[in-house]
Amino acid sequence: MKKFLCAIALLSMISLPARADDSAALAGKWSVKKVSNEGQNVTQTIEIKKDKFVFEILSSDDSVVLHAEGDLKLEKLGPFTVARFTNIKAGSASNLQDVDDVYTSIYTLDDDAWTMASGFDKQRDSQKPSVDVYHHVKAAAAKPAK
């Protein structure tokens, strides 16, 4: 019985690819409005294209406060589904610097809501853990030609 429980515990720690349909369902742009750690109203966006991401924090006047991009890997980790953000470059869009860190977020996906628990993987200076519900940004309808 002990061997069986050890085997189950080991299997629950193995990282497996997430469902293939998560990758397709996450394609596009996602957005959440929130209050930053400094008390400012901001909008965070994440755009997913295949296994790449672009993350931005926009101020209340829609100017870009932070731009980051890198690789995205979706995995199954035991009972959880995980988004792993790696090979990150951040800064302004014209001046990106390598970020020597990996961000791992547990998430759920339901219709147009992508709920992410972020910042729980490790402590980072000035970044508090949070749970955010991003909503899929619908593409603007094309205007008919005149």
For residue 143, tell me if it sits in a domain.
no
Q: How far is CA 117 from CA 16, 27, 89, 120, 143, in A?
A: 19, 19, 21, 7, 37
Bigger pLDDT: 15 vs 57: 57
For residue 113, tell me if it sits in a domain.
yes
Nearest to 79 by CA among 14, 129, 1, 2: 14
Boundaries of domain holding 53: 29-136
Bigger pLDDT: 17 vs 37: 37
Instruction: Strands of 50-141 (E only): list them.
Output: 52-58, 64-77, 80-92, 95-98, 103-110, 113-118, 130-136
Q: Give the count of domains, the chain.
A: 1
Is the pLDDT score of 139 beyond 80?
no
Instruction: Output the pLDDT for position 38.
Output: 85
For residue 51, tell me if it sits in a domain.
yes
For residue 110, tell me if it sits in a domain.
yes
- Tens digit of pLDDT for each residue in 71-80? 999 999 888 9
For residue 131, tell me if it sits in a domain.
yes
For residue 146, tell me if it sits in a domain.
no
For residue 81, tell me if it sits in a domain.
yes
For residue 41, tell me if it sits in a domain.
yes
pLDDT mean across residues, the chain: 84
Is the pLDDT score of 129 beyond 90?
yes
Cα dihedral value 39, 66, 120, 132, nearest 10:
60
Instruction: Output the pLDDT for position 127.
Output: 85
Q: What pTM was computed for the model?
A: 0.79
